[in-house]
């Protein structure tokens, strides 16, 4: 994880291990003697993929650091947080996301999350609405939505082969070439937006001890679910931003999901010429949209 200036690393202990998170600790974000905990909290949760970490939001969250207490974790199994030596399940993340919010946020908080994590965050908000002020989500997809099950794809089946799965990870994912190829072909709409720092950050996370367990659980489809079965139960005010060129699930899936619950999902926008992670491809645009959503969904903050 490449930490922005003025941010430091802290951690909390969950039932599945330590979660590391990043928050501002010094200038230029803090004035000497200022009680940082008096600020409203703002949480950023990264998505999943080989080498994912809180770095995914690091070009966005400093823009909010003079107004909010920023909380940006490496989720369990990713980045510098603890890695379990076993396959992961959806319940692992539902549990630890809730525990993390309970440990770090004293009041209901706006949560900004992406991709599969964003879909899981919807489920956490259904189970624990008292933890959330609002949700701002980029491409929240369960990857099995409306019966379009990623886990039945050829690649997911291939990665489910014992021994071969580790070979594919070590030589096809956790390498500079593997990271670049995935980002350019699957995550970004325009390959020229993938620059060396992004590859370095993803590679550092992908090479953490036992990082393969989480990544392989994801690419096998072990963490997929049909979000359409849950989204109608959501009561927390929500805005959704979807990249037009998202490779895994297009905006038509997002629109169908949003239409299941227009009372909670108050905004749905499609961003052109962007893939799965607008926060890395067009951070300035993403910042402006997050500000607008915060003003609409949580104006008193």
Q: Per residue in 13-47, pLDDT tens?
A: 999 999 999 999 988 998 776 777 788 999 999 99
Residue 113 confidence (pLDDT): 98
Edge-to-edge order in the sheet of strand 238-243:
7-14, 17-24, 69-73, 41-45, 109-114, 132-138, 238-243, 265-271
By mean pLDDT, which of 2-6, 225-229, 264-268 is the weakest? 2-6
Residue 165 confidence (pLDDT): 67
Average pLDDT estimate for 182-210? 94
Q: What is the pTM of this model?
A: 0.95
Distance, CA of 274 to CA of 282 (rounded, Å): 8
Please say if the pLDDT value at position 236 is more than 80.
yes
Residue 148 confidence (pLDDT): 77
Residue 23 confidence (pLDDT): 96
For residues 137 and 113, the answer to whether their CB atoms sit within 8 Å is yes
Per-residue CA distances from 299 to 5, 107, 152, 155, 291 (Å): 28, 16, 43, 44, 10
Which domains does the chain carry? 7-297 (3.40.50.1820)
Average pLDDT estimate for 275-293? 97
Average pLDDT estimate for 138-144? 95
Convert the pLDDT of each residue in 244-258 to its tens digit.
999 778 999 999 999
pLDDT grade for 162, boundaries at 50, 70 and 90:
low
Average pLDDT estimate for 142-149? 86
By mean pLDDT, which of 52-56, 95-99, 182-186, 231-235 is the weakest? 182-186
């Amino acid at each position: 994880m490449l930490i922005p200036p003025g941010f430091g690393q802290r951690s909390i202990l969950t039932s599945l291990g330590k979660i590391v998170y990043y928050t501002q600790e010094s200038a230029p974000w803090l004035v000497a003697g200022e009680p940082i905990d008096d600020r409203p909290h703002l949480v950023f949760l990264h998505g999943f993929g080989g080498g994912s970490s809180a770095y995914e939001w690091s070009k966005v969250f400093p823009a909010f650091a003079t107004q909010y207490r920023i909380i940006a974790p490496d989720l369990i199994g990713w980045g510098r947080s603890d890695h379990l030596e076993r396959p992961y399940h959806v319940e692992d993340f539902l549990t630890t996301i809730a525990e993390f919010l309970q440990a770090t946020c004293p009041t209901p908080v706006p949560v900004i999350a992406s991709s599969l994590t964003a879909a899981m965050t919807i489920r956490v908000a259904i189970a624990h609405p008292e933890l959330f002020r609002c949700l701002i989500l980029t491409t929240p997809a369960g990857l099995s939505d409306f019966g379009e099950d990623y886990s039945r794809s050829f690649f997911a089946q291939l990665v489910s082969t014992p021994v071969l799965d580790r070979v594919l990870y070590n030589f096809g994912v956790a390498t500079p070439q593997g990271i670049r190829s995935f980002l350019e072909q699957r995550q970004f709409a325009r390959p020229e937006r993938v620059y060396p720092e992004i590859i370095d950050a993803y590679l550092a996370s992908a090479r953490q001890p036992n990082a393969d367990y989480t990544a392989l659980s994801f690419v096998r489809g072990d963490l997929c679910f049909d979000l359409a079965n849950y989204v109608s139960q959501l009561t927390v005010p929500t805005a959704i931003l979807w990249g037009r060129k998202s490779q895994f699930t297009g905006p038509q899936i997002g629109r169908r999901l949003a239409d299941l619950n227009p009372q909670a999902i108050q905004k749905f926008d499609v961003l052109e010429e962007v893939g799965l992670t607008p926060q890395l491809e067009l951070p300035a645009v993403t910042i402006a949209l997050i500000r607008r959503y915060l003003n609409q969904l949580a104006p008193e903050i």
